[in-house]
Structure 1
């Protein structure tokens, strides 16, 4: 199984360091020295992490064989991909790898089917589940416990409790007009 773990940003300094936009909850594991990463585009890699450090809140990595600023700049926008054993699970029981979530049936608390998780979108402050509904629409569901109270990997389903209008935009207008009435 492959996981996207980062994207290379601009070069930093003259010795081949690059900034990395981290896209994993486990950078200390996935982006550690010695880690071998596949790349997109494939022609850029594989890349082996030689060293890493945090500088001014940004992760800086140096890859084996990338010894100067020009070589580092040539890697800009390259996506970093880690190979992960599909049986491997995160240490925290409330965390999930993307491949565990993609394909799950999405249902409301009462069991009504909403659709299927098609992608996990990682944003700086919050992850979203991209759900393809039965009628083909894409709905972005914030992946927070209040809205997604249950992930059941054995049953292959995600139970959601969405606020009015998240799944059905028509409900938002009704809920909004009812809110002001006593």
Structure 2
């Protein structure tokens, strides 16, 4: 596979006996899991990505339950636990102005509007109404920054830099 792969979900467990896996979604695009779509399975121990076609998809609690063509049983999907589902660069769609893919944000350095370096974005959580960016800080516990207008003031993915205006108590 020539192009880069981008994670859309983490396989955390199996579900039932009919070959479903429980996936934590790490994409804003729910249609990534539509039946018929092609995804790539990346094993936790590395190796060549495996091409899979989604057979079924449904949402259950906070998980996406997904099954794949040619993987009809629990035994077929058991080895997938701990792996990731990904898409190729060609499968990414065009975004509107001011929208970004997670992989463009992760790795960005975060500074305040006054120039103080906070740390680097290591993960994006999607718990509800807005995303929360996890900032790895040197010598401190991770900071959680809500992706809202009042806090995130500027994003420059080319320079891998984000500028924030922290609300009171946000960085404590």
**TM-score category by the smaller chain?**
0.7 to 0.9
Q: Tell me, yes or no, if structure 1 residue 19 matches structure 2 residue 51.
A: no
Higher relative contact order (CA 8 A, sep 6+): 2
Match of 1:50 in 2: 54
Q: Which residue of 2 aligns with 1:40?
A: 43
TM score, norm. by length of structure 1 = 0.69
Q: Any unmatched runs of 5+ in structure 2?
A: none
Separation in structure 1 between the aligned mates of residue 116 and residue 82 of structure 2, nearest angstrom: 38
> In 2, distance between residues paired with 1:156 and 1:78?
27
RMSD: 3.1
Structure-2 change in CA distance of 1:14 and 1:129 (3 Å): closer
Determine helix, strand or coil for the equivalent of 1:99. helix
Contact in 1 for aligned 2:125/2:134 (Cα 8 Å)? no
SS in 2 for 1:92: coil
TM-score, with normalisation over the residues of structure 2?
0.72
Q: Which has the larger radius of gyration?
A: 1
Equivalent pairs, count: 164
CA contact (8 A) 2:123 2:133 kept: yes
The alpha-carbon distance between structure 1 residues 122 and 31, as it changes in their structure 2 partners (threshold 3 A), is farther
**Separation of aligned partners in 1, 2:21 and 2:110:** 39
Please, which of 145, 151, 165 is the counterpart of residue 149 of structure 2?
A: 145
Task: Structure 1: state its 5+ residue gaps.
Answer: 170-182
Q: Which has the higher helix share?
A: 1
Cα distance in 1 between the residues matched to 2:66 and 2:49: 15
